[in-house]
Amino acid sequence: MSAQRVVIGVDSSTQSTKALAVDLETGAVLAEGRAAHAVSTGPGRESDPEQWWRALGEAMAATGWADRAAACSVAGQQHGLVTLDPAGRPLRPALLWNDVRSAPQATALAAAFGPAELARRTGSVPTAAFTSAKWAWLRAHEPATADRVAAVRLPHDFLTERLTGEAVTDRGDASGTGWWGPDGYDQEVLARIALPSALLPEVLPPGARAGRARAGTPLREGTPVATGTGDNMAAALGLGLTPGRPVLSLGTSGTVYTVGRTRPTGTDRAVAGFADALGGWLPLACTLNCALAVDRFAALLGRDREDVEDGGTEVVLPYLDGERTPDLPDASGLVHGLRHDTTPGRLLQAAYDGAAHALLTALDAVLRAGGESHPADEPLLLIGGGARGTAWQRTVLRLSGRAVQVPEARELVALGAAAQAAALLTGEPADAVARRWRTAEGRLLDPVPRDDDALERITSTLRRARALQQVPPDGR
């Protein structure tokens, strides 16, 4: 009887690192580990990459398999700007994806090339989230630091390089930088933001090995390490996602995406034209304010997150961190339509509605961008930390009008990374590994009639809020 082979998949997210030890043959999760991260609460959103490295070691060790895993892969939060000195040490805390201080730089970059041309080159019109805008912000505000930078990495690149010593990345995460396209790094975009391509990692082909674990890392020396990828790309792998199947992820941020057969190059700022971790594409819309913002509303109202009430006409736009979809980086939260009969439970339900609205209204655009137009009765895969909450499930059912499937598998980003690691050993595509593991199976919730009245109330309020955003500070 052959010895059991186990792989480790890692999800290094905004708030924590999760590691799963997974049986290569069956997909059974044998053990997991977790370690928290700290994020700055001052201007912007920053995090020390060294704590990610410590958390990686703690989470891997907690699985009990780090010294005997057959392979490993690391997935990480997209877009983060990690700047390193010649010794590979961070020069400053990383600028995270939800740091919106770089909004002016994103606008300037789009204006310099024109939105259509930039989308043609890189697949997306950058928002403040994109790494290209963050580097331009660093150049403008901390030029002395930018001049000292010897290497620029994304979060998962940084951790993979610490494990292997190899400066590599994958096409999926690279596609979220704003300086990569199908032909590689775009030299004209890099020149515009004064970023030498020599500072960037090599983009490896799908399925390639990044290297082997070095001595002194959490893994046994010589353990194969896959390229890894961005968190959304890893979740798509973890689901074994097939083209056109829509996914809605409810976490700190909210995302809606699908695997596409054709490369997205549209100028709709709501849809990012990402590559996936294989050979296809991953059109995606993302909001900054999702489960965390709703939980904040629940805390402000003194309610449990499930303690909602139906029947209200109040509208909440929960833009507590500015917003990416819609592109309102300077926005704050808005509550509209209060009356004497307004209750805390109705306000909390309105916060759920406001958080889900942008993602669900972007769903058709995401499917079109990937060259897909699946019928409306195609179940929507609901994943992420909020997916098992009854209030979230009811909200998505009511505002989408679709059936909803909630996979039993948890930690799909780490599972996708584990599938990447397994693929190194079996020669299968990583998504085929996940389908063999049957990770997308779960409870199917029947559709209910779509609440078009609620959608229209939110759309109308957002239209008025956008108009207020455009009024000069002196009111003239």
Q: What angle do CA 328, 331, 284 make, to 5 degrees?
A: 35
Q: Are 291 and 386 in contact (CB under 8 A)?
A: yes
Q: Are 201 and 167 in contact (CB under 8 A)?
A: yes
Structure tokens at 85: 């000195």
Q: Are 49 and 82 in contact (CB under 8 A)?
A: yes
Residue with tokens 């990447």: 420
* Catalytic site residue from 99, 170, 231, 268: 231
Q: Are 77 and 251 in contact (CB under 8 A)?
A: no
Helix spans in 40-102 (H): 49-63
User: Is 446 assigned a catalytic role?
Assistant: no
**Prior bond to 93 cis, omega within 30?**
no
CA dihedral of residues 179, 180, 184, 188 (deg, nearest 10): -30
CA dihedral of residues 99, 101, 105, 110 (deg, nearest 10): 60
Q: Which residues contact 361 (CB under 8 A, 6 or more apart)?
A: 455, 459
Q: Are 88 and 106 in contact (CB under 8 A)?
A: no
Question: β-strands 168-170, 202-204: how paired?
Answer: parallel
Q: Are 24 and 2 in contact (CB under 8 A)?
A: no
User: How many Å apart are CA 76 and CA 232, to the nearest integer?
Assistant: 9
Q: What angle do CA 392, 338, 333 make, to 5 degrees?
A: 60
Distances (CA, A) of 174 to 153, 187, 207, 235: 10, 14, 15, 16
Q: Tell me the catalytic residues.
A: 231
